[in-house]
Amino acid sequence: MKIEHIMLHRLRVPLTTPYRLSFGPIHAFDTVLIEARDERGRTGLGEATYLTGYTDETIDDSWRAAIQFASETAAGDGRSMRGTLPQLGEHYPFTATAFGTALEMLEGSPHLIVPRATAIPLVGLLHATDEDAIHGEFEQLLAAGYRTIKVKVGFDAAADSRVISAVQKVVKGRAAIRIDANQGYSAGQGIAFASALDPRDIELFEQPCAAGDWESHLAVAGMSPVPLMLDESIYGVADIEKAAALGAAAYIKVKLMKLGTLEALAQAIDRIRALGMRPVLGNGVACDLGCWMEGCIAAKHIDNAGEMNGFLKARAPLLTKGLAFRDGALWLEPDFSPQLDAGTIEQYLVDSVVCEPRQTMTVTKI
């Protein structure tokens, strides 16, 4: 398979409402899309969406790295691109994933084949912080079909505890609750928050402390009455194995953008289970292309609520046919063929680069 044409798009995709995280609200996704075409006219697509705190990559550095990689690999073959992806992934794993998944799509990856219509239950986000508002928002989520909800904490341990208590008072066994601190606590704060938890209806408590601070995380895990999950601490199989060896978590969350390829993601999920932990999959900071790919993996490998709900946050889909959402689930169709929506791409475009055998052309939208 010869690659004859690579097009890159850098986008700024606005969200319908700000996404509230412990390190600040997110108003738009910084996204890079890859289109790779072969000599037969087939197209493979890949996405990378960058968020400080989820990855050390920045959109500016990654965009430059993507252009350089595409320029070097245009007019090569799939084998040569695959051979150089690990080197790119050492410093730019999200960027490498965009290229890796585009190549897998070109090759007809079985991971993207869904044999029948499949519902992937999703996590619903509960943003409210006072009891009356929590009640109204939760009833809306329940009516929409969600049976697992996520509550963001990591702001102030005492105030966060009050929010969780109010949520439990409203939920009353009607949904599972996931709590996510997004690395927002110190060890002391995490211990204080976890120690105050009533485990009623709580499925898990996610990433209380900084990604590299295993000691603090273990301290919180030792005091928590609910299972812990690692997210930002996990980039690959080595981190999964470290978590298992330390007994650091009952759940491990993985995301396609960290693993490089769909095949590597499926293998990581298998490894999590083999080590006695439960996998959770999904990226809440991804557009519809990345969410669709994760949904395809979830259909075959995951048995709990998925977190690939970023497509519901974006103001408009990047694909001509938006992903189907109903009854609290992402619905996958067996004949789905993703194609980029040229109008939406143009609307949110920051830069576009075309890499062909003898030239690279850049178009910047002002």
pLDDT, tens digit, for every residue of 219-229?
999 999 999 99
Q: What count of residues does the chain have?
A: 366
pLDDT category at 366 given cuts 50, 70, 90 is very low
**CATH superfamily, region 3-109+341-364:** Enolase-like, N-terminal domain (3.30.390.10)
Spacing of C-alpha 84 from chain mean position: 24
8 Å CB contact between 141 and 135: no
Pairing of strands 228-230, 202-206: parallel
8 Å CB contact between 293 and 262: yes
Q: Nearest 10 degrees: CA dihedral of 288, 54, 366, 97?
A: -60
Average pLDDT of the chain is: 94
Choice between 298 and 72, residue whose per-residue pLDDT is larger? 298
CATH topology of domain 118-332: TIM Barrel (3.20.20)
Q: Is the dihedral of CA 129, 152, 282, 43 positive or negative?
A: positive
Q: Which long-range contacts link 236-245 to residues 24+ away (Cβ below 8 Å)?
A: 236/268, 237/267, 237/268, 237/271, 240/268, 240/271, 240/272, 240/275, 240/277, 241/271, 241/275, 242/214, 243/277, 244/275, 244/276, 244/277
Could you give the percent of the chain with pLDDT greater than 90? 86
The tens digit of pLDDT for each residue in 50-69 reads: 987 678 899 999 999 999 99
Sole residue written with tokens 């298998």: 270
Check residue 20 and give its pLDDT: 79
The tens digit of pLDDT for each residue in 307-349 reads: 999 999 999 999 999 999 999 999 999 989 999 999 999 999 9
Structure letter (DSSP) for residue 52:
B
- Among 312, 323, 328, CA closest to 17: 312
Check residue 136 and give its pLDDT: 97
Q: Please report, for the chain, the start and end positions of each structural domain, with discontinuous segments joined by +.
A: 3-109+341-364, 118-332
CA distance 12 to 28: 6
